[in-house]
Each structure stands twice: as C-alpha cells, then as structure tokens.
Amino acid sequence: MGIGEEVRLAPELALDPEVAITAISQRLREQVSVRLRRRGLVVAMSGGVDSSVCAGLAVRALGADRVFGLFLPEREGDPESLDLARGWAETLGIESVIQDIGPSLQALGCYELRNDAIRRVIPAFQDGWRCKVVLGGRPWDADGLNIPCLAVEFPDGATRRFRLPAAEYRQIVAATNFKQRTRKMFEYYHADRLHYAVLGTPNRLEYDQGFFVKGGDGLADVKPIAHLYKSQVYTLAEHLGVPADIRERVPTTDTYSLAQTQEEFYFGIPLRTLDLVLFAHNQGRDVPAAARALGRGEDEVERVFRDIERRRSTTQYLHLHSLLAGPVPEVPPQPADPS
C-alpha cells in the first residue's frame, strides 16, 4: 500500500509537506533556543526514514553548522544502515562521527546475558549464530496469539523457530535494550560536549504504541515527528530529498544479528496499514466504517482495535515521569535570555 492509497482511504492524512516542514522547523528553533537554551541538535542517524527526516528537519530549522550527526553501529548491525546514514549526512553537509558501541556492549555483558537466556532454550546455541525475536501471530488473525518466538539460523543455513518462555524472553529483551540505552548515553555525551540538545526520532505509531525503550530511544529533549503518522513521515522524506534507497527500505529494528522488521517483531501488520487503523481508531470511527474503508472484515478490525488498546495499556509506564513519594515544589519557568 503506497502513500496515495493511504490518502484515498483517509484523506485527513494528506498534508502539505512544505507547510508542515516550515511549522516544525519554526517550533524546533523555539524549543532549542528559548526553552532548552542550547546551541544546536544531536541526531543519531540509523539509515532509516525517521532519523533521516529528523536530520533534514534539524538542518532546515537551525542550519547544517548547528546539527551534529551520530552513527552508532555495533557488530550485529546491518552495514548498509551505516552507509545510508553517512551518505545522507554528507548530502546535508553536517558534521558527523562514527561511535562504535560494540566494546561498550561487550563490557556491559549485553551479548553474554542474551546468549545465556537463549541457551536455556537451545542448549547447542553458539555465540556466533545469528538470531532474532519474532511474534508468533498477527493481530488480524483470530487464532494468531502474539507469543514471542526465537528465530535462529543454524550452521546448515536453516532458520528454525522456538517458542520463548516468559523468563527467557524478558532476559533477551532486557539484554538487547542495552543497545538503545548505550546509544543514548553517547548522544548525550556529544550533546553535553557541544552544548546541544538531543533530538528523538519516534513517529506517531512508535510513540502511541510504546515501541521504544525507556531511557533509550524513547529519551530525548525534542521529538519533532511524534505527532506524524508513518505515511506523513514518508511525505516529508520525499520533499526533503531523502534518497530513495532510504525511503524504499523496509523499516527494521537493526537490533538483532538476523534482519528483523518492525512488523514481525512488534506491530504484527504492515506499518502503513496500521497507520490507517490507528488513524480510524483515533478519529473515533466505529468498526464497520473502518472495515469498509480498509476492505477488511469487521472481526479483523475489531481485533486490531483491541490490540492498539492493549499496547497502550501495557506500555503506559513508558510515558510516565518519575513517580514521587511526596509533594515537590514546582520550579518556575525562567525568562528567556535576551542575548
């Protein structure tokens, strides 16, 4: 399903990209200079469409000389991600640096802790074998339970799936979350060094449905596209000149050694379809109307609506600030520095 099809089914998703970019850029300038009182923005660039659009927006808002691009590869990442990110940074004309987080992850025990959990399920598993976590079902399906499974590539080239018990699943996820949290530490290191703010890259699907790590990729000073549906991000990408190699790439997590899409790991249905279902749900449309617009069965749409609410409920804590045991005095906002 392309952007044109999404707009036909939900005309409200259409936007004027230049008007949207101008508005976001103006807001970014205000947030960085007035609210945050920082000199510029640090953007972690993954080679995906979201971070590429955010980097482009940052340049439009502040100029290339006040945007710093950060590439954060590790040994299990896709080398193409780094190549695409570096190419776009060069096109934008921003200063950038590669920060290999592999040694930090090794020292933290990221790979060891994850593999220990895997070996409790697959005793023969070796450190060099490739793997990923995937869902066992899809929200559309009546019998598709979202039971996490581990997909492992064996030495003979065959990939086999194994159902993950809850304890092992949690340990694998907890260990791999070191990757997002380590990346964020380096983002804030460079932000502190430059007196910059950190720009976050989640789109509306990810933000709404809790597809981020608390203290990791969910942590940022500004989030310029968190109000935009994925199709709208693609509209901005094309207008900003993001290369087709990035725009046409299947969105991945770039977290496991086996290629893993966001669809198979978390959302369960194509992102652009979920765009439409989430939009219909947010607009308060009833199930029959949404089903007719999407060309799906009412029972299918009802299941996805329930899945949206379930994710919101189970990931609500990701959006919460620290809970306090007693009243804390409010810190009044300070006037902007006229200089």
Task: Name the pTM for this structure.
Answer: 0.90
How confident is residue 1, by pLDDT bands cut at 50, 70 and 90? very low
The beta-carbon contacts of 169-175 under 8 Å, at least 24 apart in sequence, are 169/133, 171/113, 171/114, 171/116, 171/117, 172/114, 172/117, 172/118, 172/133, 173/133, 174/113, 175/109, 175/110, 175/111, 175/113, 175/114, 175/117
Task: Tell me the average pLDDT across 69-94.
Answer: 96
User: Which tens digit of pLDDT belongs to each residue from 330-339?
Assistant: 777 766 554 4
C-alpha R_g of the chain: 21
Helix H, strand E, coil C: the string for 37-82 is: CCCCEEEECCCCHHHHHHHHHHHHHHCHHHEEEEECCCCCCCHHHH
Q: Which fold has domain 3-106+171-316?
A: Rossmann fold (3.40.50)
- According to the model, what pLDDT value does residue 336 have? 58
Pairing relation of β-strands 67-71 and 95-98? Answer: parallel
Tokens for 96?
């950038």
Percent helix, strand and coil across the chain, each to the nearest 5: 50, 10, 35
Does pLDDT of 191 surpass 50? Answer: yes
User: Which tens digit of pLDDT belongs to each residue from 100-149?
Assistant: 999 999 999 999 999 999 999 999 999 999 999 998 766 666 555 578 99
Rounded Cα distance, 204 and 228, in Å: 5
**In terms of residues, how long is the chain?**
339
Instruction: Pinpoint the residues of the chain covered by CATH 3.40.50.620.
Output: 3-106+171-316
How confident is residue 199, by pLDDT bands cut at 50, 70 and 90? very high
